[in-house]
Amino acid sequence: MPLLRSTSNMSKVSRCFVSLGKQCRLNSTTTSPPADGHLPSVASSELLRTKRDSSLRTPGVIWADKDATAPPRIALGGRETRKMNTYQAIRDAMSIALSKDENAVVFGEDVAFGGVFRCTMGLAEEFGRERVFNTPLTEQGIAGFGIGLALMGHTAIAEIQFADYIFPAFDQIVNEAAKIRYRSGGSYNAGGLTIRTPTMSVGHGGLYHSQSPEGFFMGASGLKIVIPRSPVQAKGLLLGSIRDPNPVIFMEPKILYRSAVEQVPIDDFELPLGKAEVLVPGSDLTLLTWGTPVYHCETALHLLATPPPELDSIIPSSLRLSKIELIDLRTILPWDVETVIESVNRTGRLVIVHEAGMTAGAGAEISAEIQKRCFLKLNAPVRRVTGWDVPVALQYEKFHIPDAIRVLDAVMETLTY
């Protein structure tokens, strides 16, 4: 039985909270905790690169002005950064793409006005409304128009206003964009197409504004799917997606548009697609995720290492020193098989976390592949922590997403299997 969901353990937690409440009422000098608690939030995450040096040293950065034949080195001198949130970093990436590629265009619903999340704010004024323009409310038309532009040699940066609305474009994306290179024998391709779309929960989006549809595209050979976790990642991965020779669906976690803030290099740079990043090295368990849940996983690791008084009796002291390896997958298709396999072969355990439902989600494909390739090294079954297999509710959305407590529960259960 899961450690935190058992009746006895849950009753202990309840008694702890009741006892704590009584103490607070009896002792007027007790300091109340901050509104967002003592645990790390997105804004205070240690994973964010809030200093210039750490930003410029982001692993895998490929500077556009660097000689590709030169030996690899990290050049910090002369490069500057600016404080940006995620939507500003995305806007910066598109501005660079438009300024350096005269064939690049940005289009979608309301993008000329700045878009609903302000990611294209000012681009129409800067580059003209012939290159940054609105479209009718037709996702199928946006995708089809983008495919046509790409086939004619343009760099098409399309926006689907919410990932929840991408399904009318499914036929164009899967049957046309992904297959046109094969269908034409290499004569044509839609590699110039990048489709941006906000994804994942926002706390109150409900069934039409909080879905995570990346898993629906897992079987579409010819596509790439990218989901960044932060401003630096968003800028580098978006520029990498725009310049990749394959059509890319670039899904942007909408809750991170304003909550994730970093120092972002102002120069033109890319981050590699198809490559995961090890955020926290470890040896006892591999925790794999992408997008917003990266920060829930970070919080879960803090709870495990230094549990609050309410959970002190629930979390065995023997588990608190466990070394958990946290990996951000970043590219969901094609996913970085080698990095995950290498990690799981060392740790012997894998927990996968994503906001989409469990059935046929991206975690199912990853789990199956790891079970096949690492079977003799596994010390416990691969565990998945996901959204529930129901529509995202109009109320109590927090109970739908895999939060830190559910991740902690899965980690503890896997470590003690």
Q: Which residues are catalytic?
A: 139, 209
Residue 144, helix vs strand vs coil: helix
- Cα atoms in the 13 Å half-sphere on the side-chain side of 350: 28
Which of 204, 166, 216 lies closest to 393 in space, CA to CA?
204
3-state secondary structure 16-54: HHHHHHHHHHHCCCCCCCCCCCCCCCCCCCCCCCCCHHH
Q: Containing H/E element for 83? A: strand 81-85
Q: Strands 155-159, 104-108: parallel, antiparallel or unpaired by DSSP?
A: parallel
Beta strands (DSSP E) in 176-323 are 193-199, 224-226, 248-253, 261-265, 269-270, 277-280, 285-289
Give, in degrees to the nearest 5, the angle at Cα 263 between 260 and 269.
105
Centroid of chain to Cα 281: 19
Rounded Cα distance between 253 and 250, Å, is 10
Q: Determine if the peptide bond prior to 334 is cis (ω within 30°).
A: yes
Q: Strands 193-199, 248-253: parallel, antiparallel or unpaired by DSSP?
A: parallel
Rounded Cα distance between 157 and 316, Å, is 50
Residue 169, helix vs strand vs coil: helix
Rounded Cα distance between 29 and 179, Å, is 67
What is the total residue count of the chain? 417
